[in-house]
Structure 1
Amino acid sequence: MLETNTWIQQYFDEATDAVLIFKEDDLVVSNQIAQDLEQELHLDPTYLVQVADASVKQKFSATDNCFNCAIRNSMQEISIPITLAKDMPHPLKYFMIYHVINADEHVFSLTLKNRGTIERMDQLAQQRQLNQYVNRAHEEERKKISADLHDSIAQGVYSAIMGVRRINEDDNDEAAIHELTQVIETQLNDTLAEVKGMALDIRPSVLDSFGLLPALRVLAKRLQENSGVTITVSGNASTEGLATDVQNVLYRIGQESINNALKHAAANEINLLLVAHNHFIILEIIDDGKGFDLSQHQGFNGHSLGLLNMNERVKALNGAFEIKSQAGAGTTVTAKFPVSFA
C-alpha cells in the first residue's frame, strides 16, 4: 500500500497539468507545475477559487446560490475558460476544470489544462474521425465498382463468350450464325458503353486533354441524356494555368453536386457556372430542386458524407466551400479557390 501511495504521489507531482486540491476555500495540496505557476506568475490560488465559485453559481443560479446543493444535485465537473498573465506579452490561456471530490466536506480540485493543447487534441480526434468516414466512403466506392464489374461487365463478357461457343456448333446454318454474331456484337457494344461510363465516372480523359470546362460540359451532357433533366454549363474561365489538383477537386464537386441533385432533389434544371477572376476562381452549381434543411445534415450519413468529403477536399487546397439550401427553394453549392493566372 505504501508503494502504491508513492506511485500516486509521483504521478501527481509529474502531471503535465497544474492540479490544486482545496477543502472549503483553503488550498490543501498542489503538484509541482501548479507550484511553479504560483511562483512565476505570483498567482494567488484564492483567485482561482473565486473564479470557480462565480462560474458555478452562475451555472446553477436556479438553486438560489445554494452552492453545496447545486453540486450535490447536478454535475460534478465543469470547464471554465481562464486567461492568466493578461498583462504579459504572451497571456496564458487555460481551461480550468472544477471537479468535486467530496461534496459534503466541500473538497474539490482545480486543474489547469493548456487550451491550445486541448484544441490540438480535439482537432486530431476530429481528423481521425473524418479519416474513418472518408476511408469508408472510398471503400463504398470500391465496392460499387467491384459490383458493377461483376454484375454488369463480367456478365456481358460471359454472355458474349457463350455466344461465340454457340457459333461453333455443327448444326448452325448461315442465317443462325449471322443472328448470333449480331447478338454478340450488341452485347459487346453494351458492355463497352458501360466500361466507358465507369471510366468517365472514375477519371474522364477529357479533363486531362482539354481542361475543366470541357470536362464539365461532357459530364453534363452525359448525365442529361441519362436523366432527362436539363443541365447547362457556362462560364468564361480559362483553366490552362490552374493547378491540376484544383481542377480535379472542382470537377468532383460538379459531379457530386449534380448527382446529389438528381438523386435527392427532384430537380428539373441544374446550372453550373465557372467564373475566373484575377485572383480566384468560382464554381457554382445551382438546382431548382426541393432543397433540404442544412441543420439536418451536419452529421455523417449517406447523404451528407459526399458534401463533407467535398468540403474537406476544398479546405485542403486553401479554398472555401459553401452550401445554401432551403426546403422548397433549391440548393446552391459554391467552391472558391485563390489562384494566380499568368
Structure 2
Amino acid sequence: MSDINSLLYKDFFNDTDVLHFIINSDYAIIQSNKIATKLFNINSGLPFDIKKLQAIKKPTQFFEIISDVFETKEKVFECYLIQDKNTVPYKVYAKRIEVEGLFYIICTAHTILDKKELEDQILKAVIETEEKERSRFAKDLHDGLGPLLSTIKLYVHELKSTDSSEEEKQEYIKYIIELLDEAVTNTREISNNLTPQIISTYGLVKSIDSFKNKVNATQKLKINFFNQDVPEDLSKTIKLTLFRIIIELINNTINHASANCIYIGLYVRNNKLHLDYKDDGIGFNLNDALTKGTSGIGLINIINRIKSMSGTFSFNEKLTKGVEMKFSIDINK
C-alpha cells in the first residue's frame, strides 16, 4: 500500500480546504486528507465503505457515479455534503488509476457554494427584471393609453346624445381622431421601449452610433465607437442583446463612474463578435458589485444576457481606475 500512500503527498494535501481521498475497487475509502476525514466523519478508521457516508446527501447516487468511473476512467460531477446541518454543493473530479494491477479512484472535491449563490443571484435578478418590465409596461399602458381611451369613450357617448348639434358632433369627431392619433403614437413608443424601432430599421452599428451622437451632443461625456466587419445579418436576438448591454453600460458610466471618456469596440475575430467596453471613471470592485445590495443587478443582468447566448465575459480586475470589460458571442451558433 506504500505506492498508494505516496500518491497523496500527505503534507501538501492535508494543508488545504480541498477534499482528497482514494477509493479502492471494494468501494471503500482507503486514504483521505484531514478535511475529508472530518467532513465524512470517518475517524473510526479506514477503509470506510462509501455507501455508509452519511455526510453525502445522496450516497446511492454517489456510489453509482463512482462505479461508473471504474468503467469510464474519469468523471467530473456535483454532489452535496451536509455540513453543520447545511447542504453545501461540491464539484468532484474522480480519476481511475492503476497501481500494481489494481484499480483505484483518486477524488478531489471543492465547494462551489459561491458559484451556486451567484447563479441564484442571477436567477433572482432575471425574475426581478421581468417583474419590473411587467410593472413598467402596465404603468405605460395605464398612464399613456388609459386617459386617452377614457376621453375617447366620453366623446363617443356624446356623439350618441340627441342633445348635441351636428356642429358639436363634427367637433367631437375631430377630437376623437386627434386622440386616436395620440394613442397610436403612445402605443408605438411603448412598443419601441420593448424592441427599439431603430434596431429594426438601421441595424446594430448605426443604432449604437446614433445613441453615441446623442450622448456626445451633451458635451458632458465623450464616447468613441470603433467597429469593424460587423455583419449586417446578425440575428435579432444578438442585435437587441448587444444594444441593450451597451446602453446599460453607458448608463452605468453616466450615473456612477464620474468618467470623461468611453471607448466601445465592436468587431469580428475568429467567427466571434467581440464587444470591448472601457471608461476612465472611478472604477469598481466586481465582487462587491455582484454581491452587495441591488447596485449590481444591472451588471448581473448584462452577464446573464451574454450567458443566455453561450457568450463569454471578462473583467479587468487589475485596473486601479476606470473599467474594462470584454464580451464575445459565437455568431455561427
TM-score normalised by structure 2 residue count: 0.56
**Structure 2 letter corresponding to 1:119:** K
Match of 1:198 among 180, 190, 194: 190
1:216 to 198, 208, 222: 208
- Aligned residue for 1:248? 240
SS of the residue 1:317 aligns to: coil
Preserved CA contact (<8 Å) 1:250 1:335:
no
For residue 298 of structure 2, give the secondary structure of its aligned residue in structure 1. Answer: helix
Match of 2:322 in 1: 330
Please name the residue that 1:315 is paired with.
307
Question: Who is 2:36 aligned against?
Answer: 96
- In the TM superposition, residue 316 of structure 1 has moved relative to its aligned partner by 3.6
Q: Pick closer, same or farther for the CA change 1:235–1:214 going to 2, 3 Å.
A: same
CA distance in 2, matches of 1:302, 1:191: 35
Unaligned runs of 5+ residues in structure 2 are 25-30, 57-61, 63-75, 79-89, 93-111
Letter in 1 for 2:22: L
Query: 1: CA distance between counterparts of 2:283 and 2:158?
Result: 53
Counterpart mapping for 1:1-342 below 5 A: 55=14, 80-84=18-22, 96-98=36-38, 111=53, 116-117=77-78, 118-119=90-91, 127-128=119-120, 130-155=122-147, 158=150, 195-221=187-213, 229-231=221-223, 233-299=225-291, 301-324=293-316, 329-339=321-331
Tell me the number of residue pairs that the alignment of Structure 1 and Structure 2 aligns. 268
Q: In the TM superposition, what whole-angstrom CA distance separates every residue of 1:183-204 from its partner, at most 9, and x where no partner exists?
A: x95x877766654443333112
* 1:165 CA drift (Å): 8.3
Q: Offset at 1:210?
A: 4.0
- Which AA in structure 2 matches 1:116? F
Q: Aligned in 2, Cα 1:163/1:313: closer, same or farther, shift over 3 Å?
A: same
Q: CA RMSD in A?
A: 5.3
Q: Give 1:147 shift.
A: 1.9
Shift of residue 317, structure 1, vs aligned partner: 2.8
Rg larger for:
1
Does the 8 Å contact 1:321/1:335 carry over to 2? Answer: yes
What is the percentage of aligned positions where both structures have the same residue? 20
Give the match for residue 22 of structure 1. none
Give, in angstroms, the shift of residue 301 of structure 1.
Answer: 3.9
Residues 227-267 of structure 1 deviation map (CA, whole Å, 9 limit, x = unaligned): 97555544123323534443332222112212222333344
Tell me which amino acid in the other structure corresponds to 2:20.
Answer: I
TM-score w.r.t. the length of structure 1 is: 0.55
Give the Cα–Cα distance (whole angstroms) in 2 for the partners of residues 312 and 282 of structure 1: 16
Structure 1: tracts of 5 or more residues without a match: 1-37, 60-78, 87-91
> Could you say which residue in structure 1 is the equivalent of 2:69?
none
